Structure 1
Amino acid sequence: MDLTMCGLLIERAEELARLYAEHGNWNEVKEIWFDERLSNRSTRGSSQKIYRVLTSRFKNAPTALPNPSTLPAIFDECQTTRDKAQILYLYLVSDDSLVRYVVHEYVARLTEGNPNPLDFSNETLVDILTQLEYSDGDSFDYAESTTERWCEGFRSVVREIGVLDGQQSVVGESPSIGDISLLVAMDYSYESGDDEWLTAPRGLLYLFQPENRWEELFDRVVSTDAWEYLELHGDLDVRPSDEPYSWALDGGES
């Protein structure tokens, strides 16, 4: 239940990614991280937890997401903090099975056309959580106070990616996506899918983009030159112009 304490921690995650890009070794990153934390009078316990949670997301990230060493170049192209949050959120969903389960449930609510599909109230979240059954047959079973903190932590995450507006709101809308986070979401969708990935682009779904927005998002990503339209077997398809994430290494989406 680390989400209740950590959330996305954008600045800390960006700092870790820059250290890794500079040193290329997690052991060196860890040593520098703790030296800097202690010199700034941070408690070692909180520093350890933050480091453990954030590095888990980076170390366990699927190859479909950018290598952490590439993130600083990607972040440098981001126009807003929200763009960075939407990118880091994909690492969280990939790493945290409970978050992924809940996100999948909301994606299903969105694609099925449920009324108020993005209702993140405690009542709705708890209803989703209580349907969870682990592979060993156990069900979700935490103290009420712990569950409430988790729900608040989850809301803080979807607030950071632009789904919720304001500290008190619990019902959200599909967020707007910046150009850089859109490129990451599209490359992630392409890399983690198969030949039918266009019918369920994972990155767009995880960012709660309904199907009626996909065509507009495809047009936008093609306008960056990092993607292009191709006609295959009489159908119009959209594919990366080069290797996924090469646009980041080349210095922007152009």
Structure 2
Amino acid sequence: MNFVSDGGSSPVPSLSRQFPPGDVNMDLTMCGLLVERAEELAQLYAEHGNWNEVKEVWFDERLSNRSTRGSSQKIYRVLTSRFKNAPRALPNPSVLPAIFDDCHTTRDKAQILYLYLVSDDSLVRYAVHEYVSRFMKDRPDSLNFSNETLVDILTRLEYSDGTSFDYAESTTRRWCEGFRSVLREIGVLDGQQSVAGASPSIGDIPLLVAMDYSYESDDDEWLTAPRGLLYLFQPENRWEELFDRVVSTGAWEYIELHGDLDVRPSDGPYSWPHDGGDS
């Protein structure tokens, strides 16, 4: 998954449309970001330090509250998969409670958790890359998330054995609803019925995570395609403003290299949660 230029100045993400058989799941039919439960799991992991103990405490609490074990298992499997499979470029789940403490809104937390979802779920990542590609090309109606547009994108997906994306219409429709639900949580969509999106505002804490994630994800050319900002649908003409904002937190700084201005983490990526972030 490399971000590449598409013949213009704006970088767009490139992702193969081919997936190994069985590599695509439809977890969004039942699970979105589930901010409160994800936050609870991260807190348990920070307290206990291993997933076996977290699992035991999680199910004990669920059963005592009369939750069904099947539903709890589904949620636990999906959310812990996002945390366990998170790349090094994202904060370790044990640090998330400290990061969440500095968040001002639920949307701030959702935008952070969204990056874990995109990293873990290949189908979501595929859809996001397709939309970012359209968005960065400034295509009209590029952030249209109607069922028709989403299904058109999904049906282009192919498995490496030559078969195509093939799910029941009802399952695909639920997935589309789940995808839009995530976009509402991160501020791309406004209102339950809206399918037309726009670039969301980003709080300082998710901005710090998105910047550190971008810096850690790519090589020295990351400034030409900051992955975290692209995934959050931030247009290129807003990046300079976002760089200024992240520098104003003190966690990042401008550095002059060979006559060019660069921006880098002041003390390394993700050092700021231990320093209290921007608070």
Structure 2 length-normalised TM: 0.90
Q: Choose the corresponding residue for 1:170, options 192, 195, 203.
A: 195
Q: Choose the corresponding residue for 2:168, options 131, 134, 143.
A: 143
Residue type at the aligned position of 2:212: D
Is 1:90 the counterpart of 2:112 in the alignment?
A: no
Distance 1:62 1:23 in 2: 21
Q: Which deviates more from structure 2 when the two are superposed, residues 243-252 or residues 74-83?
A: 243-252
Following TM superposition, the consecutive aligned residue runs of length 4 or more in structure 1 with deviations greater than 3 angstroms are none
Query: What percent identity do the matched residue pairs reach?
Result: 88
Is 1:37 the counterpart of 2:62 in the alignment?
A: yes
Distance 2:53 2:131 in 1: 39
Q: For each residue in 1:10-67, what CA deviation from the matched residue of structure 2 results, as whole angstroms up to 9, or x when unmatched?
A: 0000000000000001000000000000000000000000000000000000000000
Q: Choose the corresponding residue for 1:191, options 216, 221, 225.
A: 216
Pairs within 5 Å for 1:35-184:
35-184=60-209
1:116: how far off? 1.4
> How many correspondences in the alignment?
254
Q: Is the 8 A contact 2:118 2:125 kept in 1?
A: yes
Q: For each residue in 1:98-117, what CA deviation from the matched residue of structure 2 results, as whole angstroms up to 9, or x when unmatched?
A: 00000000000001110011
Residue type at the aligned position of 1:209: Q
Distance 1:205 1:9 in 2: 22
Q: Is the 8 A contact 2:145 2:197 kept in 1?
A: yes
Distance 2:244 2:276 in 1: 21
1:233: how far off? 1.2
Pairs within 5 Å for 1:227-238:
227-238=252-263
Q: For each residue in 1:66-114, what CA deviation from the matched residue of structure 2 results, as whole angstroms up to 9, or x when unmatched?
A: 0000000000000000000000000000000000000000000001110
Q: Secondary structure at the match of 2:253?
A: strand
Structure 1 residue aligned with 2:278: 253
1:251: how far off? 1.8
Q: Secondary structure at the match of 2:261?
A: strand
Distance 2:134 2:49 in 1: 41
1:133: how far off? 1.3
- Structure 1, unmatched stretches of 5+, are none
Structure 2 residue aligned with 1:16: 41
Structure 1 residue aligned with 2:23: none
C-alpha root-mean-square deviation of aligned residues, in Å?
A: 0.6
Structure 1 residue aligned with 2:3: none
Distance 2:266 2:258 in 1: 19
Distance 2:70 2:210 in 1: 34
Q: Secondary structure at the match of 2:159?
A: coil
Q: Is the 8 A contact 2:249 2:277 kept in 1?
A: no
Q: Secondary structure at the match of 1:6?
A: coil
Residue type at the aligned position of 1:8: L
Residue type at the aligned position of 1:182: L
1:135: how far off? 2.3
Residue type at the aligned position of 2:59: F
1:253: how far off? 2.2
- Structure 2, unmatched stretches of 5+, are 1-25
Q: Choose the corresponding residue for 1:201, options 195, 202, 226.
A: 226
1:153: how far off? 0.3
Q: Secondary structure at the match of 2:262?
A: strand
Q: Secondary structure at the match of 1:230?
A: strand
Residue type at the aligned position of 2:104: Q
Q: Secondary structure at the match of 1:146?
A: helix
Q: Is the 8 A contact 2:251 2:277 kept in 1?
A: no
Distance 1:205 1:193 in 2: 13
